Amino acid sequence: MNKGRWRMAAAVAALLVAAGVYVVVKMLMDPPVAISKIDVTHSAFDNDGKRQFVIDLDQGSVTEFESSALGAKQTDSKTLDPAAIAAFQDQVVRVGLSSWKDTYRDPNIADGGMWTLVVTFANGQIKTVTGINVYTEWVQPPRFSIFADALKTLVGRDVF
């Protein structure tokens, strides 16, 4: 390898090490924050009703509501297993919820469904994300399927 290529390779290696150090330092300075509460509301275009899940991870409970033009009613409530909550928190750390955009929309679908996700973190920060006609991976938030699957495992049924 000639000197020019050697220097370039060394510079690239130094940048990669610096980038790796930056990521580690950033993670140490900004550790992931646990989630306290999740509120998911889902509605479909062909149905005037809404389905809502209120998941309180601090209290270990999930409550489901259905609403229509006639009003809202609680349809289910259950206690969550503390080990399942801990496993959920571990999985969701990798999702990066706080970096998700506020709205995801598929412009090619006009008559689908809509969901709103409100996440309250343990530090009091609140993140609201809305999905409109979001059925394919190319318009979903990053790592959405990991989050949706973890939530399904926690709650015991599909939330989205």
**What gap in Å lies between CA 92 and CA 86, rounded to an integer?**
10
Per-residue pLDDT of the chain (160 residues; tens, 9 = 90+): 556 655 665 666 565 555 555 444 444 445 578 999 999 998 876 666 789 999 999 999 999 999 887 888 999 999 999 999 999 999 998 899 989 999 999 888 877 788 999 999 999 999 999 999 887 777 889 999 999 999 999 999 998 8
CA angle (133, 55, 129) in 5-degree steps? 35
Q: Does one domain contain both 55 and 67?
A: yes
Residues whose CB is less than 8 angstroms from the CB of residue 2 and which lie 6 or more positions away in sequence, other chains included: none
The answer to whether residue 160 sits within a structural domain is: no
**How many domains does the chain divide into?**
2
Q: Return phi, psi of residue 133, to 5°.
A: 60, 40
The DSSP code sequence of 49-112 is -EEEEEEETTTTEEEEEEEETTEEEEEEEEEPPHHHHHHHHHHHTTT-GGGS-SEEE-TT-SS-
Q: Does one domain contain both 40 and 25?
A: no
Phi-psi region of 133 (alpha: psi -120 to 50; beta: other; left: phi over 0): left
Q: Does one domain contain both 68 and 25?
A: no
Q: Does one domain contain both 82 and 21?
A: no
Q: Does one domain contain both 13 and 85?
A: no
Between the two ends of the chain, the Cα-to-Cα distance in Å is 55
The answer to whether residue 98 sits within a structural domain is: yes
Q: Return phi, psi of residue 86, to 5°.
A: -60, -40
Q: Does one domain contain both 89 and 58?
A: yes
Quickly count helices (H) and strands (E) in the chain.
3, 7
The boundaries of the domain holding residue 18 are 1-31
